[in-house]
Structure 1
Amino acid sequence: MSNAPTALAFPRPLGDPELETLFQKARALRAPADPETPEPGEGRIFVSIAAFRDPECQKTLVELFEKAARPERISVGLVWQHDPVEDAAYFDLQPARRDQVREMRLDWRDSLGVCWARFLAQAMWRGEEFYLQIDSHMKFEAGWDEILIEDLRACPSDKPLLTMTPPPYLTPGDTLSDLHPGILRTDGFLEDGSIRFTGLWLQEPLQRAVRLPFLLAGALFGYGRTIADVPYDPYACFSTEEISYALRLYTHGFDVFAAPRRTMWHQYKRDNRVKRGAAPDARYTQRMGAWTTRAFHRFNHSTGHTLVLDAPVLVDLDLFGLGEARTLAQYEAYTGIDFRFKRVTEDCVRARFVPDVETIAQFEVPVLDDPAERRPALVEAEEMLLREALAAWETPRLVEELVTLIIEFDRHRAARVDGAPQARLQPDREKLIADFSTWDRYALACTLAKLSYAVHLMNAVKAAAESAGAPPRDGVAAAG
């Protein structure tokens, strides 16, 4: 550990001066039990908590220390977004090891979301060997720290992380579920363009650490170096948080595994959560709206859905972008997610990125199996395989095939309307070639795969119609 990083640092100041000020303030925070300079962090655990007006937060801190096998090795980085008057009672309950908590208190009206807060919490890391990120409404299994360390070390990866799908606990009464954590799945993209994950709880614990492409941000455990290697993007937002971080970790060479054993519970139905009334702070609402809008543009740019040139959207993306150990294309092939056109394969929705998922969990997928449910935008596995193959082509070949296909589509369109006046767009081949030659190669492969597969479907319909005796229609030549 002598050469391991002991703090989160960047080669230059952050592009947002206000954020840079808060970052440096968080880095300088010390708990009463902290030494002046970081010590070797072998065996120590840094726990990141971002709390937003949460009456469970202090209870979570008490549980965290009381249920640990070795509470003396735990340090907490807590970002408390609160109202100094209305929320004062939440601080009455104090953990016995309060001197091991590094705490930044901020007025909730100044908050810019969960990713912003988690980033500031990471800034309080001081070289601890392990890193646990949780929400502020959790209960813990006795000996949770030893269980997580043992399970992490058993993962077959040089850069492992464990993600938990904590079963629920209910308040009042703190009733704990007897279910066990399982794996994660998704129902595809939502109307706003985000993609969220659902945890599957199990009757019996997993027998091994199962590799996953997704994670839950409120229950994540890994080595402390993860903070230095892939720090949280403070410019992300709640809706893009988990998919953005999972993709960034993957492209930086990290592997996420489903934790095989239960170590914690999560409060999902927060009946005792503070209410801000019918008229929340207008300035907070406006700032959060602008921050969230920018986060979506940033996410869409990073995943190839759109090209963004606005500097405020791209601020510090060199510090919080994708890695170079693996590619976006590899992640899409692994998961069955098509970020460019916001679609998913059926295998993705059925969690078949886990090869033996049927032996692990039996579950229903209403968005696919219930006709009353709205189906997600799906992409056929064959198109994704075609995209994977085309990604190996060089740019000139991709451009030539794409331009040829577009011109063929135009000819086909004109034929369908029987040569009506102005039916053809008559695209300029040389101009198209010049335009597409400026595209990213993978963007060309994705677009060519989509159009080529559309041609395949059109030609299949044409062949079926002709075999049924319908008058022949003009076909389109596929790329190849």
Structure 2
Amino acid sequence: MVVQRSQRRDAPAAALLIAFILCIAFTTIYLNVAMEEVSWATTVGRFNLHHARMRFVRSKAETPNIETVNATESRRTIVLIANYRDSIRCAETLNSLFTRADHPELLDISLVDQIYEHLNETRCFDLYCMNVGEAACRRGQLRYNETIHADNATGPTLARYCTEKGIDLTTDAFALAIDSHLVFVPHWDTELKAQWDSIGNPNAVMTGYPRSTMNMPSEDWSQLKLRNTTQLMCTAFIETKDADAMIQYGGTTPVAKPLTPQLMSQFAGGFNFGSAKQALEVRNDPYTPYLFHGEEYSKAARLFTHGYDMYAPSQDIAFHWFEKRNVIWEKNWSARYVIQQRSKRRIRRVLGLPTTSDDYDATDIHLFSLGTKRTFKQFQNFSGIDPLAAYAGTKGNQFNNCRLLDFVPIDDGSVDLGH
């Protein structure tokens, strides 16, 4: 009985201790989220101003011609690169970009570096110039360069949006958005434009996940022409069990190599090539911090409904380094996850999908909305993906659209955006 009375006396104290610990834990999470949101708001506000570190020079050339027949080699391409603490590979990417192009003089670069300068991390273009020498590094073709403290980096969408500030429609015919860790094939620029021209569609966007560098030819690059397959993005799945889930794409599927780029329904943020006009008309949404899956599906839907069409390259243009690298979710992810959920709800609202609450950032949401050339319902049918389907695991093949797709005509007038 003495023991029982002692336990009863200690129970209120234990309960108070547990309550105190829970209170401290929830307060810590709340403060972390609050600090992240303050940092995010400060970051966005800063990007609405002229950044102190940016470099942006406009050309006074007349609007370029991007007709798909009898194209000349005067068409310029702006290359958009978002670098998150990956400057070593990024510098190598620039080297292969320039040295393996037939016309490197027709390339300009728009770069956003997200680095820790206090840890002696170097900006991508600066490191490239250190590697090859100032005389050879074409610094004059660096049109735009913005530097962000890595702690203020919020994922791919804002960084890619910032790279788009470098586009100049009076100069640029094309925009090529790429990851910071690619190896380009010889004559890649001629091959890329030739493939785009062969489609015969000025609204074409060539895109895809490049093959691994493990699949590069060891020496003889001419062997690429002998390969009888290409890579198609055509599988997807519901990413998570929660009601605000995103669509995540699966890996690529090898298919028989077509004569010209193959129409497909998916979009790769790390490799896409189309008109510069397209890149500014359907921009990356900067108000979706810490979003890593779902932004590609959303961008595909927006491109499709704005009248653009996605195609898989018929021949390898570049190869991708798949290796361990610095990632943004390594730091304070418990707080950033809460903010990511708001980004997911914003994406779902843009697409007309139900959300668990109205707690999302609606800033300028009309600028990152669906288009009026086709409906979202048409996109669902075209893509073979049901965004309202239940979670079925992460194997990647919940939805399979690996087939020849029928082109969906564009409505020249506005269409009913009902779903």
TM-score w.r.t. the length of structure 1 is 0.62
Matched, 1:113 2:113: no
2:44 is paired with a residue whose SS is: helix
**CA deviation after TM superposition for structure 1 residue 305, in Å:** 3.0
Alignment match, 1:297: 345
Query: What's the offset of the Cα at 1:327?
Result: 0.7
1:50 corresponds to which residue?
A: 82
What's the offset of the Cα at 1:38? 6.0
Q: Does 1:264 align with 2:314?
A: no
The aligned runs of 1:432-471 (5 Å cut-off) are 442=419
Counterpart of 1:337, as a letter, is I
SS for the counterpart of 1:319 is: helix
Percent of aligned positions with the same letter in both sequences?
A: 23
Identify the residue that residue 72 of structure 1 maps to in structure 2: 105
Pairwise CA distance, 1:204? 6.5
The residue number in structure 2 matching 1:133 is 177
Q: Residue 152 of structure 1 aligns with which residue?
A: 196
Structure 1 residue runs of 5 or longer lacking an equivalent are: 1-15, 357-393, 395-439, 443-480
Q: Does 1:324 align with 2:357?
A: no
Deviation digits for residues 27-47 of structure 1, max 9, x if unmatched?
Answer: 99435xx45656544501011
- In the TM superposition, 1:188-203 aligns within 5 A as 188-192=237-241, 193-200=245-252, 202=254
Quote the residue 2:305 is aligned against.
251
Q: Is the 1:51–1:78 contact (alpha carbons within 8 Å) kept by the matching residues of 2?
A: yes
How far did 1:312 drift?
4.4
Check the 8 A contact 2:90/2:181 in 1, yes or no. yes
Q: One-letter code of the match for 1:240?
A: G
**What amino acid sits opposite 2:101 in the alignment?**
A
Counterpart position of 2:32:
none
Q: CA deviation at 1:87?
A: 4.8
Which position in structure 1 is the counterpart of 2:22?
A: none
Question: Is 1:93 the counterpart of 2:128 in the alignment?
Answer: yes
Match of 1:206 among 253, 258, 272: 258
Report the equivalent of 2:44.
Answer: 19
**Gap runs ≥5 in structure 2:** 1-40, 66-74, 407-415
Deviation at 1:202, TM superposition (A): 4.1
Q: In 2, are the aligned partners of 1:186 and 1:195 still within 8 Å (CA)?
A: no
Cα distance in 2 for residues equivalent to 1:260 and 1:181: 6
Match of 2:94 among 40, 55, 61: 61
Q: Is the 8 A contact 1:303 1:339 kept in 2?
A: no
Distance 1:265 1:292, change over 3 A: same
Matching residue's letter, 1:100? Q
The amino acid across from 2:336 in the alignment is M
Q: Give the alignment's Cα RMSD to 1 decimal.
A: 3.5
SS in 2 for 1:339: coil
Structure 1 position 351 matched with structure 2 position 392: no
SS in 1 for 2:117: coil
How far apart are residue 342 of structure 1 and its match?
4.7
Give 3-state SS (helix, strand or coil) of 1:191's partner.
coil
Residue 200 to residue 27, structure 1, CA distance change in 2 (3 Å): farther
Bigger RCO of structures 1 and 2 (CA < 8 A, at least 6 apart): 2
Contact 2:235 2:249 in 1 (8 A): yes
1:135-161 residue CA offsets vs partner (Å, 9 max, x unmatched): 000000111111111211222434111
AA aligned to 2:384 is: G
CA distance in 2: counterparts of 1:174 and 1:22, whole angstroms: 43
Contact 2:53 2:145 in 1 (8 A): no
In structure 1, C-alpha distance between the alignment counterparts of 2:248 and 2:303, rounded to whole Å: 17
The structure-2 alpha-carbon separation of the partners of 1:137 and 1:352, relative to structure 1 and needing over 3 Å to count, comes to closer
Deviation of 1:332 after TM superposition, in Å, equals: 1.1
Deviations 1:57-101, CA, capped at 9 Å, x for gaps: 111111111111111111111111011033536753326112212
**Structure of greater Rg:** 1
Superposition TM-score, scaled by structure 2 size: 0.70
Kindly tell me the number of residue pairs found equivalent between the two proteins.
336
